[in-house]
């Protein structure tokens, strides 16, 4: 059974470079046999959070929110493609995730961070690990960190230069780690359900 993986991306900028990494991750996961889908916060365009999905009466949530809730509930794993904004997380991605809670529970997630500079978004990745844990998701230990995002992936999300070569070397372990945890969590949910 193919792992259903949502790849979450949250930049709202006009000239988004991180979308290259999100597309690369989706393509490569699919090439390895997963069923990966890009969830682009800008394309979904949920409002700034007022009410969480669970706070709407059944059937009253906005259509985009309802659709994303179902995709989240039925996913086996998640990848957070995390750009770094002033040492922190992207507001668009955080807003997207904050609309949900129970829908995230009992699945693993990985973080793929990026930045234009040499720190590769690692401070945002670190922040996401705590947030992911609070969301009821288990963060895996493997991560991707891409610095110089504009020169590491071209406009077609193809790796270029030394940064792209490093990404290609790191990706198989990242994907294998996420796949292992996704399968383990799915097997346990099927065997024993969830504690709550």
Instruction: Show the beta-strand stretches assigned E in the chain.
Output: 4-9, 35-40, 77-83, 108-114, 138-146
Contact of 154 with 122, CB cutoff 8 Å: no
Q: Which residues of the chain have pLDDT under 70?
A: none
The number of angstroms, rounded, from the C-alpha of 126 to the middle of its chain's C-alpha atoms is 14
Taking only the tens place, the pLDDT of each residue in 41-98 is 999 999 999 999 999 999 999 999 999 999 999 999 999 999 988 888 999 999 999 9
| Packing angle, helices 161-192 and 18-31, rounded to 10 | 60
Q: What is the DSSP letter of 32?
A: T
The two tokens of residue 171 are 């990706």
The length of the chain in residues reads: 196
pLDDT at 196: 87
pLDDT at 1: 85
- In 3D space, the residue among 196, 5, 4, 2 whose CA is nearest the CA of residue 101 turns out to be 196
Cβ-proximal residues to 145 (8 Å cutoff; 6+ apart), any chain: 112, 113, 114, 120, 121, 122, 125
Beta bridge partners of 143: 111
Calculate Rg over the CA atoms of the chain: 16
Domains of the chain: 4-192 (3.40.50.360)
Contact of 113 with 121, CB cutoff 8 Å: yes
pLDDT at 75: 98
pLDDT at 41: 98
What is the C-alpha to C-alpha distance for residues 165 and 157, in angstroms, rounded to an integer? 13
3-state secondary structure of 179: helix
């Amino acid at each position: 059974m193919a792992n259903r993986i949502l790849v979450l991306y949250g930049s709202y900028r006009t000239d988004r470079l991180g979308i290259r990494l999100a597309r690369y991750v989706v393509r490569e996961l699919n090439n390895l046999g997963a069923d990966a889908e890009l969830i682009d916060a800008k394309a979904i365009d949920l409002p700034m959070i007022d009410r969480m999905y669970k706070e709407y009466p059944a059937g009253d949530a906005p259509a985009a929110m309802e659709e994303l809730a179902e995709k989240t509930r039925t996913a086996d794993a998640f990848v957070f493609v995390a750009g770094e904004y002033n040492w922190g997380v992207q507001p668009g991605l955080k807003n997207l995730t904050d609309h949900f809670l129970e829908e995230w529970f009992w699945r693993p997630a990985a973080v793929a961070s990026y930045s234009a500079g040499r720190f590769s978004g690692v401070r945002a990745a670190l922040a996401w690990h705590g947030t992911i844990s609070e969301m009821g998701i288990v963060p895996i230990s493997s991560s991707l960190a891409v610095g110089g995002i504009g020169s590491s992936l071209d406009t077609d999300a193809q790796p270029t230069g030394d940064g792209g070569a490093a990404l290609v070397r790191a990706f198989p372990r990242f994907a294998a780690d996420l796949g292992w945890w996704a399968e383990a969590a799915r097997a346990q949910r099927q065997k024993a359900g969830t504690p709550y």
